[in-house]
Amino acid sequence: MAVFTFVARDTLARWLERYDIGDLVEHEGIASGIENSNWFVTTTAGRYVLTLFERMSAHELPFHLGLLHHLAAHGIPCPDPVADRDGVVLETLMGKPAALCSRLDGQPEMQPGPAHCAQLGEAIARMHLAAAGYPGRAPNPRGLAWWESVAPPLASQLAPAQAALLADEIGHQRAFAASGRLAALPASAVHADLFRDNVFFDPQARSPQLAGIIDFWFAGVDAWLFDLAVAANDWCTDENEAFDAQRLDALLGAYRRVRALQPVEHDAWQTMLRAAALRFWVSRLHDLHCPRPAEIVVPKDPARFERMLLLRRAHAPALHRALPDLPNPV
């Protein structure tokens, strides 16, 4: 979430007239993130988040907006798209596709403990089960096909050892997919970007209470295990990117109390942890070497995920650390 496209107050006020949400009180650009232009919008009727999509086209967005509405209708605490008076949720503003969504209360927890990770694990499992009923089939936009497409130009920007690592890991992931093992994993639309800053907790609660999950714009159909690996790599690691056993056990244990993991998922765990590290190493390399101008932008360091990928290639803790898989609840 960054600001690449400036929206003047008068322009926004006129645009909001198509909605039945009162009059504009104020709007403020959101500096975090690097993909879209995002604004907090307050009206006389409530608080919202406005997103102008800088890279995604209008034909891609119904999948994401439909997923948000589907999940919200199934009790997942996520933003719900706001329809205008004609029932339309995808509009155009400043020449860009744009959508207005409900704004969630709460704040990220950037130093999570085991209790936060347990809350997240349960929420991810519930989200996966809810998403299983969503008919949208758009692939993960930052999956293997994208890695393969951006790797050649990136390789010329890297040291020889880094370029060799990139090529070797993409080769491993390609072979895993070609073997049919990736397709054998349970899958549906997944969030695919479950970092700490995309999950809100209630700051007033006495114990950690998850309040919402945001930023679904990288969502796509992929393995549920990949989604879990993305979360584990961010939420359950120390300053050296090694796993913290207590937090990892809390995340996996809570997930598995809601949804039992299959034998094929146990076998694929290390490869999915590697894929999750690779995905963000590649995307941050791409953002570093192929930047876009922005009003407000917060750059992110790819080195963290290079270190993580090297660690995951060397070792990954077994999925059965936390507890035996239990039957799914009826």
pLDDT digits (tens, 9 = 90+) for 5-23: 999 999 999 999 999 999 9
Least confident span in 88-92, 152-156, 278-282: 152-156
As to burial, measured by CB atoms within 10 angstroms (0-12 exposed, 13-18 middle, 19+ buried), residue 301 is exposed
Least confident span in 5-9, 20-24, 231-235, 321-325: 321-325
Cβ atoms within 10 Å of 103's Cβ, excluding its own: 16
- Domain annotation covers residue 329: no
Q: Convert the pLDDT of each residue in 41-90 to its tens digit.
A: 999 999 999 999 998 999 999 999 999 999 999 999 999 999 999 999 99
CA diameter of the chain? 58
- Asked if 120 and 229 sit in the same domain, the reply is yes
Q: Please report where in the chains the tokens 């993305």 appear, as a residue.
A: 230
22: containing domain:
9-102
- Asked if 165 and 309 sit in the same domain, the reply is yes
- Asked if 142 and 91 sit in the same domain, the reply is no
- Asked if 64 and 201 sit in the same domain, the reply is no
- Asked if 89 and 119 sit in the same domain, the reply is no
- Asked if 81 and 137 sit in the same domain, the reply is no
Least confident span in 54-58, 106-110, 288-292: 288-292
Given a cut of 50, is residue 1 above it in pLDDT? no
Tell me the CATH number at 272. Answer: 3.90.1200.10
Q: Is 227 helix (H, G, I), strand (E, B) or coil?
A: helix
Q: Tell me which residue of 252, 249, 247 sits closest to 112, measured CA to CA.
A: 247
E strands along the chain, which residues? 24-29, 37-43, 46-52, 91-93, 96-102, 187-190, 199-201, 210-213, 220-223
Tell me the CATH number at 73. Answer: 3.30.200.20
pTM over 0.85: yes
